[in-house]
Copies of this chain bind each other. A is one copy, B any other.
Amino acid sequence: MNITSIESEKIMEAAKAKAEEIGVPMNIAIVDEGANLKLFLRMDEALLGCADIAIKKAKTARFFNQDSGKIGKLSQPGGPLYNIEHSNGGLITFAGGVVVKDDNNKIIGAIGVSGGSVEQDQMVASAGINALK
């Protein structure tokens, strides 16, 4: 199964609510099973350069079926995936990209969030995927 519009909107609403709660305007992107953009929002006053980053975080999470931040631990100098960011038209490998799973634990897409600190981005992404649980 692929992520639906209804699921995407649920995730988006929860992520947006968390962003408003912590007072950080965010860029929020949701991609589907094919890593293609499904839903995107740049909240008012969210940083302009974080739109592309949110999209790339979501894609990175789905490309490798794990949190974007985990890739970043492996892509450091000397690491096994050093500079993997050069692939796929550019990856973003710090925190804020998280896969979305359905009830059967199957990956159906991913969310990427950017606009605050990486901890805030990750928190908002987590709030998003929790809306499906």
Which A residues form the contact surface with B (CB < 8 A)? 4-5, 8, 32-44, 47-53, 56, 59-60, 62-65, 72, 75-78, 80-94, 117-118
- Whose C-beta in chain B lies nearest to the C-beta of A64? B49
Residue among A5, A32, A49, A56 with max Cβ neighbours from chain B (10 Å): A49
In the complex, chain B residues whose CB is within 8 Å of the CB of A89? 52
* Bound Cα distance from A91 to B49, whole angstroms: 10
Q: A37 — which chain B residues lie within 8 A by C-beta?
A: 40, 42, 51
Chain B positions within 8 Å of A93 at CB level: 82-83
Contact of A60 among B35, B49, B62, B88 (CB under 8 A): B49
Having A34-B34, A38-B42, A80-B94, one finds 7 other A-B pairs with CB under 8 Å, namely A37-B40, A37-B42, A47-B64, A49-B87, A49-B88, A53-B88, A85-B86
